[in-house]
Amino acid sequence: MKIVPGHVSVVPEEVCFVLELRSIDDAAVKKACAEVSAMAKRVYPCTASVEQLGAKPAVPLDERLVKKIKDSADKAGLSAVVMPSGASHDSSPIAHVIPTGMIFVPSHDGVSHSKDEFTTNDDVLHGVELLKEAVLAIDRDL
Q: 85-95: per-residue pLDDT in tens?
A: 766 667 888 88
Q: 13-29: per-residue pLDDT in tens?
A: 999 999 988 888 999 99
- pLDDT at residue 135 is higher than 90: yes
The whole-angstrom distance between residue 36's C-alpha and the CA centroid of its chain comes to 20
**Where are the CATH 1.10.150.900 domain residues in the chain?**
63-141
pLDDT for the residue 57: 84
Distance CA 29, CA 111 (A): 24
The DSSP letter of residue 5 is S
Provide the 3-class DSSP secondary structure of residue 19: coil
Distance CA 89, CA 100 (A): 13
The whole-angstrom distance between residue 70's C-alpha and the CA centroid of its chain comes to 19
Q: 59-74: per-residue pLDDT in tens?
A: 888 999 999 999 999 9
Does the domain at 63-141 match CATH 3.50.50.60? Answer given as no
Average pLDDT over residues 94-107: 91
Q: How confident is the model at residue 117 (pLDDT cuts 50, 70, 90)?
A: very high
